[in-house]
Structure 1
Amino acid sequence: METQQIHRGRLIDHLHLVVRDVAASRRFYEAVLGALGIPMGGGGEDWFWADELFVSSADSEAAAGELTGRHHFAFQARDRAQVEAFHAAALAHGGRDHGAPGERPYHPGYYAAFVLDPDGNNVEAVYHGPAQRSAASVHISFDA
Structure 2
Amino acid sequence: MVLAAPEFVEAELVEMFRQIEVAAELQHRVFADGVMRGQKCTKADARHEVSPEEIYGYIVGRQVTWPGRFAQRAVRRHMSPIRNAVSAESIVAQRNTPQFLEDRLMRLAKPRIDIGFPTNDVQPLLAFWQGQIGLPFDHLLPIRKGQKQHRHDLLGSVLKINELVEPIPDRPRSGYRELLIAREGLPSSQTMTDPEGNRVTLVPKGTFGIARIGIRLAVRDLAAHRRFYIEALGLPEGPRAGEAATFLAGDTVLLVEQAADAPSDAGMEGKGWRYITFQVFEVDREHAHVLQHGGREARAPVTLGTTARISMVRDPDGNWIELSQRASITGSLAVKT
Q: Could you tell me the TM-score, scaled by structure 1's length?
A: 0.63
Q: Please list, as runs of the form range in 1=range in 2, the aligned pairs for 1:70-89 lying within 5 A after superposition.
A: 71-77=274-280, 79-80=281-282, 83-89=283-289
Deviation, 1:32, is: 3.4
Counterpart CA distance in 1 for 2:311 and 2:215 is 20
Look up the match of 1:48: 246
Equivalent residue pairs, number: 113
Change (3 A) 1:9 1:111: closer
Look up the match of 2:226: 26
Look up the match of 1:115: 313
Q: Does 1:97 align with 2:292?
A: no
DSSP 3-state at the match of 1:16: strand
CA contact (8 A) 1:24 1:94 kept: no
Amino acid at match of 1:8: L
Q: Which runs of 4+ in 1 moved over 4 A?
A: 43-46
CA contact (8 A) 1:42 1:48 kept: yes
Amino acid at match of 1:102: V
Q: Could you tell me the TM-score, scaled by structure 2's length?
A: 0.29
Look up the match of 1:62: none
> Where does structure 2 lack aligned partners over 5 or more consecutive residues?
1-6, 8-153, 160-212, 268-273, 331-337
Higher-Rg structure is 2
More displaced stretch, 93-102 vs 113-122: 93-102
DSSP 3-state at the match of 2:218: strand
Counterpart CA distance in 2 for 1:42 and 1:95 is 21
> Where does structure 1 lack aligned partners over 5 or more consecutive residues?
59-64, 135-144
Deviation, 1:66, is: 4.6
Counterpart CA distance in 1 for 2:287 and 2:156 is 29
Look up the match of 2:86: none
Counterpart CA distance in 2 for 1:86 and 1:9 is 22
Of 320, 329, 332, 1:133 maps to 329
Change (3 A) 1:18 1:98: same
Deviation, 1:46, is: 5.6
Deviation, 1:55, is: 1.3
Let me know the Cα RMSD of the aligned residues. Answer: 3.0
